[in-house]
C-alpha cells in the first residue's frame, strides 16, 4: 500500500529530521517521490492541532472513549496551484495492519479544519463507516497518523471510496504533503 510505505518513511523522518515547535509544526528534510507529478519536487505542508502536539497524547474527547469527534487541524505552506486537499488518518500499529480512521477528499485548500466538522467528501473507514472513527486501540498505546496531501485536481470519487482507492486516484497529482502524529492508549 502506497501510504503505508510513505508512512514508514515519514516515521523515520519524524524520528530524525522533524522537529516540534510546540504547535506540532513540522519540517521535512527529504524528497518523497511516490505519488508526485513527474518532475515535481516534494514540498511539506505544515499540519498541527491546537488540541495536541506532534507525538503527544490525543485527548480522550477525540477518541471512542470520549465524544468520538475529529480534532481541529491547521495547515500551512499549501502550495500555489492546489485544487483540493486529502486527509487520511490511520493507525499503523493495528494488529491487522494499517487501519483507516478517516479518509476525506475534495477538501477546499483551506488553512483549517474545525473540530467535529465534515470538510469534504468522506469515504469508507476501516470500521465500515463513512465517518470519522476516533482512536480506539484494543490494547496498548498506538500511534495515529494525520496525513494531508495537496493535489492539483479534485478527485470526484463516490463517498464509498476507501483509502486505497483515494491513494490510487492521487497518483501523479500530489503537490505537497504533511504529517502530524498523535498517540492514544486506553486504560
**pLDDT tens per residue, range 58-84:** 999 999 999 999 999 999 999 999 999
Q: What is the band of 159 on the pLDDT scale with cuts at 50, 70, 90?
A: confident
* Cell 473507514 belongs to residue: 125
Q: Quick check: 120 pLDDT over 70?
A: yes
* CA distances (Å), origin 120, targets 104, 117, 158: 6, 9, 12
Cell of 114: 474545525
Domain count, the chain: 1
Q: Quick check: 134 pLDDT over 90?
A: yes
Domain that holds residue 85: 2-185
Taking Cα atoms as reference points, which of 170, 4, 179 lies closest to residue 82? 170
**pLDDT tens column, 36-49:** 556 556 679 999 99
Q: How far is residue 166's CA from residue 34's CA, in Å, rounded to a whole number? A: 14
Q: Quick check: 22 pLDDT over 60?
A: no
**CATH number assigned to the domain comprising residue 153:** 3.90.280.10
Amino acid at each position: 500500500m502506497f501510504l503505508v510505505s510513505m508512512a514508514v518513511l515519514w516515521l523515520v523522518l519524524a524520528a530524525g529530521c522533524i522537529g516540534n515547535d510546540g504547535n506540532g509544526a513540522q519540517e521535512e528534510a527529504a524528497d518523497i517521490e511516490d505519488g508526485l507529478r513527474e518532475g515535481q519536487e516534494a514540498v511539506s505542508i505544515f499540519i498541527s492541532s491546537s488540541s495536541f502536539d506532534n507525538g503527544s497524547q490525543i485527548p480522550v474527547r477525540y477518541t471512542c472513549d470520549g465524544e468520538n469527534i475529529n480534532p481541529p487541524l491547521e495547515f500551512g505552506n499549501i502550495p500555489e496551484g492546489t485544487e483540493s486537499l486529502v486527509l487520511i488518518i490511520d493507525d499503523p500499529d493495528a494488529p491487522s495492519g494499517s487501519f483507516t480512521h478517516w479518509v476525506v477528499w475534495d477538501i477546499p485548500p483551506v488553512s483549517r479544519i474545525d473540530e467535529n466538522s465534515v470538510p469534504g467528501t468522506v469515504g469508507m473507514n476501516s470500521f465500515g463507516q463513512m465517518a470519522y472513527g476516533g482512536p480506539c486501540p484494543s490494547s496498548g498505546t498506538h500511534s495515529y497518523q494525520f496525513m494531508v496531501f495537496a493535489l492539483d485536481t479534485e478527485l470526484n470519487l463516490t463517498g464509498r471510496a476507501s483509502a486505497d482507492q483515494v491513494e490510487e486516484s492521487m497518483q501523479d497529482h500530489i503537490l505537497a504533503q504533511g504529517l502530524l502524529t498523535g498517540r492514544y492508549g486506553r486504560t
